[in-house]
Amino acid sequence: MTEHAHQHGEKAHVVGYGQYILIWAGLMGLTGTTVALAGIELGRWVIITALTIASVKGFLVLNIFMHLRSEDRTFRLFVLVAGVVLLIFICLTFFDYAFR
């Protein structure tokens, strides 16, 4: 635990290089999957698949690289609100695209 974390009574969020590299490789793999799936005819599933992969990537970046998992509950709640709003925006947009 760092001195800074001790001073503020925060939880330690030390992440080893190995884990960073592993997550990075995972993100690259997911990017490759997105690109590969773009060339396959999946019909209406293509957007759902792409958004799901993007969401998983966003989740990993927020939690690992931006240390959200070791943050205060208030901050996690704020990010959750932002995520839910984004989800609502996307769903509402598809009231147009899905019913044309």
Binding site for another protein (CB under 8 A): 74, 81-82, 85, 88-89, 92-93, 95-100
Q: Minimum distance between the CB of residue 25 and another protein, rounded to whole angstroms? A: 27
Question: Closer CB to another protein, residue 59 or residue 75?
Answer: 75
Residue 27, token pair as written in the block: 């993100």
Which CB sits closer to another protein, 20 or 59? 59
d(CA 63, CA 42): 30
- Supply the minimum distance, in Å, between the C-beta of residue 72 and another protein: 11
Q: Please, what is the minimum distance in Å from the beta carbon of residue 95 to another protein?
A: 4
Q: Using CA of residue 56, residue 58, residue 64, residue 69, what is the dihedral sign?
A: negative
Return the closest-CA partner of residue 66 out of 26, 29, 11, 20: 20
